């Protein structure tokens, strides 16, 4: 009787691994050999090292257009953000090897927070849908920022840029740099600005308009943001809704106490944060300011058009993970 041939192994999937070699943990953890050994034989990776955000998005878009089975990002939230925006609507899954400071999307998803755990999970993980929020056409995977909170984030991003002499200090401080910058911003002058919020109410389907003074706005597709902070709101990345979280123009002492509560996970005092769920919105300020999301800084404006793209992205990892 002839020998029974072995069961054929599952087809090997092609993958493009987009690597941010400047990510905070890349110098210590990154190794092509380690990644190739951990992913094989199920995944055959090709490695790309883009020079910046535009090249990151282009590499992800090119991989999707060429029919690659999987895109893996090795980097932090900014690199993930650019790749996610390029992959939106493509049905090409995104895997994440966390090498950044905050890794907010990974924590939001409940996916592995270390590179070793992520390498073990990606070959067997099932893709799951994830919403994206777009603000003036720019993507946000987790929490976008407007107003003073965006200016606070902008300070950290600029000081941590490659050309900044303060970059070593920002890297040494890590997540604490976001909390320090937030405190400095709340101590500065001219915090409040007038804003007009026009948004749909998912519960009623009616459009609502609110005009008020605010210190800043969180656009929450999830609850995690820079500095290890967690917003106390019912935001999810898979519910087809985002939350407009408006920081009230309350006295400075109450703001500082509210920020302390946010850092420590305490209950926020009344009036500090009001939440409006929406699928689309227009937010208008009385003076221009930046938009920041996922560790990235986008152009300043006075008007911001926001929309949710339900299930636009497929991601690997987190609850529901199992064999493909």
pLDDT tens digits, 171-195: 889 889 999 999 999 999 989 999 9
In this structure, which CATH number among 1.10.10.10, 2.60.200.40, 2.40.10.340, 2.120.10.70 belongs to the domain 138-311?
2.60.200.40
**SS3 state of residue 123:** helix
Domain 13-124 homologous superfamily, CATH: Probable inorganic polyphosphate/atp-NAD kinase; domain 1 (3.40.50.10330)
Regarding pTM above 0.75, the answer is yes
Q: What secondary structure letter does DSSP report for 4? A: P
Closest CA to 143 of 290, 293, 268: 293
Instruction: Write the DSSP string, 218-286.
Output: EEESSSEEGGGEE-SS---TTSS-EEEEEEE---HHHHHHHHHHHHHTPPPPTTSEEEEEESEEEEEEE
The domain limits of the chain are 13-124, 138-311
Q: Which residues contact 288 (CB under 8 A, 6 or more apart)?
A: 300, 301, 302
pLDDT band at 9 (very low <50, low <70, confident <90, very high): very low
pLDDT band at 118 (very low <50, low <70, confident <90, very high): very high
pLDDT tens digits, 150-172: 999 999 999 988 889 998 898 88
């Amino acid at each position: 009787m002839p020998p029974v041939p072995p069961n054929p192994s599952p087809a090997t999937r092609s993958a493009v691994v987009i690597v941010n070699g400047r990510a905070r943990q890349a110098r210590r953890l990154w190794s092509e050999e380690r990644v190739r050994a951990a992913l094989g034989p199920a995944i055959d990776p090709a490695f790309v090292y883009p020079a910046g955000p535009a090249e990151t998005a282009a590499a992800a878009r090119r991989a999707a257009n060429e029919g690659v089975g999987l895109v893996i990002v090795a980097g932090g939230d900014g690199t993930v953000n650019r790749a996610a925006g390029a992959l939106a609507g493509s049905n090409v899954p995104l895997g994440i090897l966390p090498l950044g400071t905050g890794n907010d999307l990974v924590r939001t998803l409940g996916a592995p927070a270390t590179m070793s755990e992520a390498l073990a999970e990606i070959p067997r993980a099932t893709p799951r849908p994830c919403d994206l929020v777009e603000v003036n056409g720019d993507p946000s995977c987790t929490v976008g920022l407007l107003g003073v909170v965006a200016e606070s984030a902008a300070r950290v991003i600029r000081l941590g840029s490659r050309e900044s002499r303060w970059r070593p200090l920002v890297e040494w401080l890590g997540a604490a740099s976001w909390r320090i910058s937030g405190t400095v911003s709340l101590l500065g002058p001219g915090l409040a600005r007038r804003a007009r919020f026009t948004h749909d109410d998912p519960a009623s389907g009616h459009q609502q308009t609110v005009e008020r003074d605010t210190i800043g706005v969180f656009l929450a597709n999830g609850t995690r943001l820079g500095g290890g902070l967690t917003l106390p709101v019912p935001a999810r990345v898979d519910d087809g809704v985002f939350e407009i979280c408006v920081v009230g123009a309350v006295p400075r002492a109450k703001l500082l106490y509210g920020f302390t509560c946010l850092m420590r996970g305490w209950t926020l005092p009344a009036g500090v944060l009001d939440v409006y769920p929406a699928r689309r919105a227009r937010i208008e300020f009385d003076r221009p300011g930046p938009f920041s999301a996922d560790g990235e800084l986008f152009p300043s404006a006075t008007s911001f058009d926001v929309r949710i793209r339900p299930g636009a992205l497929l991601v690997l990892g987190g609850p529901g993970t199992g064999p493909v």
